Chain A
Amino acid sequence: GDSVTQMEGPVTLSEEAFLTINCTYTATGYPSLFWYVQYPGEGLQLLLKATKADDKGSNKGFEATYRKETTSFHLEKGSVQVSDSAVYFCALSINQAGTALIFGKGTTLSVSS
Protein backbone atom coordinates (compact mmCIF):
# COMPACT_ATOMS: atom_id res chain seq x y z
CA GLY A 1 0.00 0.00 0.00
CA ASP A 2 0.86 3.67 -0.06
CA SER A 3 3.33 4.80 2.57
CA VAL A 4 5.72 7.52 3.64
CA THR A 5 9.10 6.99 5.30
CA GLN A 6 10.97 9.85 6.87
CA MET A 7 14.19 9.97 8.80
CA GLU A 8 13.95 9.35 12.48
CA GLY A 9 14.88 12.05 14.90
CA PRO A 10 15.50 13.85 16.93
CA VAL A 11 17.60 16.15 14.82
CA THR A 12 19.62 18.58 16.89
CA LEU A 13 21.24 21.58 15.21
CA SER A 14 22.83 24.86 16.10
CA GLU A 15 21.30 28.07 14.85
CA GLU A 16 22.23 28.89 11.23
CA ALA A 17 23.07 25.27 10.41
CA PHE A 18 21.83 23.58 7.23
CA LEU A 19 18.85 21.28 7.60
CA THR A 20 17.86 18.22 5.61
CA ILE A 21 15.04 15.90 6.61
CA ASN A 22 14.72 12.95 4.26
CA CYS A 23 11.37 11.69 3.04
CA THR A 24 10.64 8.89 0.59
CA TYR A 25 7.30 7.53 -0.49
CA THR A 26 5.61 4.54 -2.06
CA ALA A 27 2.44 5.20 -3.98
CA THR A 28 0.39 4.02 -6.88
CA GLY A 29 -0.33 6.72 -9.40
CA TYR A 30 0.86 10.28 -8.98
CA PRO A 31 0.42 11.58 -5.46
CA SER A 32 0.61 15.10 -4.14
CA LEU A 33 3.29 15.57 -1.50
CA PHE A 34 3.24 17.75 1.58
CA TRP A 35 5.31 18.85 4.53
CA TYR A 36 3.41 19.78 7.66
CA VAL A 37 4.89 21.31 10.80
CA GLN A 38 3.67 21.03 14.38
CA TYR A 39 4.91 23.60 16.87
CA PRO A 40 4.77 22.71 20.58
CA GLY A 41 1.22 22.58 21.89
CA GLU A 42 -0.38 23.17 18.50
CA GLY A 43 -2.01 21.24 15.71
CA LEU A 44 -0.38 20.60 12.36
CA GLN A 45 -0.11 23.32 9.76
CA LEU A 46 0.90 23.13 6.15
CA LEU A 47 4.50 24.14 5.48
CA LEU A 48 4.69 23.46 1.74
CA LYS A 49 3.40 21.17 -0.97
CA ALA A 50 4.09 19.93 -4.50
CA THR A 51 1.55 18.36 -6.79
CA LYS A 52 3.60 16.95 -9.67
CA ALA A 53 7.08 15.72 -10.54
CA ASP A 54 9.86 18.34 -10.44
CA ASP A 55 7.66 20.84 -8.63
CA LYS A 56 9.43 22.70 -5.85
CA GLY A 57 7.44 23.77 -2.81
CA SER A 58 8.81 26.57 -0.67
CA ASN A 59 7.79 28.57 2.38
CA LYS A 60 9.53 30.37 5.25
CA GLY A 61 12.96 29.47 3.80
CA PHE A 62 12.12 25.77 3.59
CA GLU A 63 12.17 23.97 0.25
CA ALA A 64 11.38 20.51 -1.05
CA THR A 65 11.45 19.15 -4.60
CA TYR A 66 9.17 16.36 -5.84
CA ARG A 67 11.55 13.77 -7.30
CA LYS A 68 9.64 11.04 -9.07
CA GLU A 69 12.74 9.12 -10.15
CA THR A 70 13.88 8.68 -6.54
CA THR A 71 10.36 8.86 -5.01
CA SER A 72 11.62 11.48 -2.61
CA PHE A 73 10.54 14.84 -1.17
CA HIS A 74 13.37 15.91 1.12
CA LEU A 75 12.93 19.04 3.22
CA GLU A 76 15.79 21.55 3.31
CA LYS A 77 16.57 24.88 4.87
CA GLY A 78 19.80 26.76 4.47
CA SER A 79 19.94 28.39 7.89
CA VAL A 80 17.70 27.21 10.72
CA GLN A 81 16.51 29.36 13.59
CA VAL A 82 15.54 28.50 17.14
CA SER A 83 11.94 29.21 16.16
CA ASP A 84 12.08 26.32 13.66
CA SER A 85 12.14 23.83 16.53
CA ALA A 86 9.10 21.64 15.89
CA VAL A 87 7.97 18.27 14.61
CA TYR A 88 7.94 17.92 10.82
CA PHE A 89 5.68 15.47 8.98
CA CYS A 90 5.95 14.36 5.40
CA ALA A 91 2.67 13.26 3.83
CA LEU A 92 1.18 12.13 0.56
CA SER A 93 -2.26 12.17 -0.94
CA ILE A 94 -3.63 10.32 -3.92
CA ASN A 95 -5.55 12.71 -6.15
CA GLN A 96 -8.97 11.22 -5.69
CA ALA A 97 -11.96 12.64 -3.95
CA GLY A 98 -12.66 11.04 -0.61
CA THR A 99 -9.16 9.81 0.15
CA ALA A 100 -7.09 10.67 3.18
CA LEU A 101 -3.56 11.94 3.71
CA ILE A 102 -0.94 9.38 4.66
CA PHE A 103 1.67 10.68 7.07
CA GLY A 104 5.19 9.71 7.99
CA LYS A 105 6.04 9.25 11.65
CA GLY A 106 7.42 12.73 12.09
CA THR A 107 10.88 14.12 12.74
CA THR A 108 11.57 16.27 15.77
CA LEU A 109 13.91 19.19 15.14
CA SER A 110 15.58 20.99 18.01
CA VAL A 111 17.60 24.12 17.26
CA SER A 112 19.81 25.71 19.91
CA SER A 113 21.28 29.19 19.96
Chain B
Amino acid sequence: DVKVTQSSRYLVKRTGEKVFLECVQDMDHENMFWYRQDPGLGLRLIYFSYDVKMKEKGDIPEGYSVSREKKERFSLILESASTNQTSMYLCASRTGTRGTGANVLTFGAGSRLTVL
Protein backbone atom coordinates (compact mmCIF):
# COMPACT_ATOMS: atom_id res chain seq x y z
CA ASP B 1 0.00 0.00 0.00
CA VAL B 2 1.02 3.55 -0.68
CA LYS B 3 2.00 5.40 2.39
CA VAL B 4 1.99 9.13 2.79
CA THR B 5 3.65 10.15 6.01
CA GLN B 6 3.35 13.58 7.56
CA SER B 7 6.09 14.17 10.05
CA SER B 8 4.10 15.93 12.75
CA ARG B 9 0.54 15.17 13.82
CA TYR B 10 0.26 18.13 16.16
CA LEU B 11 2.26 21.36 16.27
CA VAL B 12 1.92 24.50 18.35
CA LYS B 13 3.79 27.57 17.12
CA ARG B 14 3.88 31.25 17.91
CA THR B 15 2.94 34.09 15.61
CA GLY B 16 5.85 35.04 13.38
CA GLU B 17 7.64 31.71 13.60
CA LYS B 18 8.77 29.88 10.49
CA VAL B 19 7.01 26.52 10.23
CA PHE B 20 7.93 23.49 8.15
CA LEU B 21 5.46 20.73 7.45
CA GLU B 22 7.04 17.67 5.90
CA CYS B 23 5.42 15.01 3.77
CA VAL B 24 7.00 11.85 2.40
CA GLN B 25 5.49 9.23 0.09
CA ASP B 26 6.97 5.84 -0.67
CA MET B 27 5.44 4.87 -4.02
CA ASP B 28 7.36 6.99 -6.51
CA HIS B 29 4.37 9.23 -7.21
CA GLU B 30 4.94 12.22 -9.45
CA ASN B 31 2.15 14.42 -8.14
CA MET B 32 1.99 15.75 -4.59
CA PHE B 33 -0.46 18.15 -2.99
CA TRP B 34 -1.00 20.27 0.11
CA TYR B 35 -4.53 21.04 1.24
CA ARG B 36 -5.83 22.76 4.33
CA GLN B 37 -9.03 21.64 5.97
CA ASP B 38 -11.25 23.98 7.96
CA PRO B 39 -14.75 23.41 9.37
CA GLY B 40 -17.40 24.58 6.96
CA LEU B 41 -14.87 25.22 4.20
CA GLY B 42 -13.88 21.68 3.32
CA LEU B 43 -10.51 21.10 1.66
CA ARG B 44 -8.78 23.93 -0.11
CA LEU B 45 -5.72 23.46 -2.28
CA ILE B 46 -2.65 25.42 -1.25
CA TYR B 47 0.01 24.16 -3.66
CA PHE B 48 0.73 21.13 -5.73
CA SER B 49 3.73 19.71 -7.50
CA TYR B 50 3.62 17.50 -10.57
CA ASP B 51 7.34 16.74 -10.61
CA VAL B 52 10.59 17.40 -8.78
CA LYS B 53 11.31 21.12 -8.50
CA MET B 54 7.96 21.93 -10.14
CA LYS B 55 5.16 23.64 -8.28
CA GLU B 56 1.81 25.21 -9.01
CA LYS B 57 -0.24 27.56 -6.88
CA GLY B 58 -3.58 26.30 -5.74
CA ASP B 59 -6.54 28.31 -4.55
CA ILE B 60 -5.02 29.79 -1.38
CA PRO B 61 -1.22 30.07 -1.74
CA GLU B 62 -0.83 33.36 0.11
CA GLY B 63 1.38 33.06 3.16
CA TYR B 64 2.74 29.68 2.08
CA SER B 65 5.58 28.32 -0.01
CA VAL B 66 6.64 24.80 -0.93
CA SER B 67 9.74 22.83 -1.74
CA ARG B 68 10.12 19.65 -3.79
CA GLU B 69 13.81 18.83 -4.03
CA LYS B 70 13.29 15.08 -4.11
CA LYS B 71 10.50 13.10 -5.66
CA GLU B 72 9.36 11.53 -2.41
CA ARG B 73 9.29 14.68 -0.29
CA PHE B 74 7.05 17.74 -0.49
CA SER B 75 7.41 20.41 2.18
CA LEU B 76 5.00 23.17 3.07
CA ILE B 77 6.55 26.29 4.57
CA LEU B 78 4.87 29.05 6.52
CA GLU B 79 7.41 31.88 6.37
CA SER B 80 5.83 33.82 9.23
CA ALA B 81 2.99 31.96 10.89
CA SER B 82 -0.19 33.84 11.70
CA THR B 83 -3.20 32.86 13.80
CA ASN B 84 -5.39 32.54 10.70
CA GLN B 85 -3.15 29.70 9.57
CA THR B 86 -4.34 27.55 12.47
CA SER B 87 -5.75 24.57 10.63
CA MET B 88 -5.47 20.93 9.67
CA TYR B 89 -2.99 20.42 6.84
CA LEU B 90 -3.32 17.40 4.59
CA CYS B 91 -0.69 16.09 2.20
CA ALA B 92 -1.58 13.76 -0.67
CA SER B 93 0.09 12.08 -3.61
CA ARG B 94 -0.82 10.21 -6.79
CA THR B 95 0.82 8.79 -9.86
CA GLY B 96 1.23 11.42 -12.54
CA THR B 97 1.11 9.63 -15.86
CA ARG B 98 -1.14 10.86 -18.65
CA GLY B 99 -4.79 10.63 -17.80
CA THR B 100 -4.15 10.99 -14.10
CA GLY B 101 -7.48 12.59 -13.43
CA ALA B 102 -8.90 9.17 -12.71
CA ASN B 103 -6.05 8.23 -10.45
CA VAL B 104 -6.68 8.14 -6.76
CA LEU B 105 -5.17 10.55 -4.29
CA THR B 106 -3.64 8.94 -1.23
CA PHE B 107 -3.66 11.13 1.86
CA GLY B 108 -1.51 11.37 4.93
CA ALA B 109 -3.06 11.46 8.39
CA GLY B 110 -2.82 15.22 8.62
CA SER B 111 -0.92 17.78 10.67
CA ARG B 112 -2.92 19.92 13.03
CA LEU B 113 -1.20 23.28 13.44
CA THR B 114 -2.11 25.77 16.13
CA VAL B 115 -0.61 29.25 15.93
CA LEU B 116 -0.78 31.25 19.14
Chain B window 81-116, contacts with chain A (Cβ cutoff 8 Å), 1 for yes, 0 for no:
000000000101000111111101111111000000
Q: How large is the interface on B (under 10, 10 to 19, 20 to 34, 35 or more residues)?
A: 20 to 34
Q: Enumerate chain B residues within 8 angstroms of A89, measured Cβ to Cβ.
A: 42-43
Which positions in A face B, CB cutoff 8 Å? 31-32, 34, 36, 41-46, 49, 51, 89, 93-106
Residue of B nearest to A51 (CB): B102
Known contacts being A32-B102, A51-B102, A105-B42, is A100 close to B58, with CB within 8 Å?
Answer: yes
Which positions in B face A, CB cutoff 8 Å? 4, 31, 33, 35, 40-43, 45, 48, 50, 56, 58, 90, 92, 96-102, 104-110
Provide 25 A-B residue pairs closer than 8 Å at the C-beta atoms, listed in order of the A residue: A34-B104, A36-B107, A41-B109, A43-B4, A43-B108, A43-B109, A44-B43, A45-B107, A46-B104, A49-B102, A51-B102, A93-B102, A96-B101, A97-B97, A98-B50, A98-B96, A99-B100, A100-B45, A100-B48, A101-B33, A101-B105, A102-B45, A103-B42, A104-B42, A105-B41
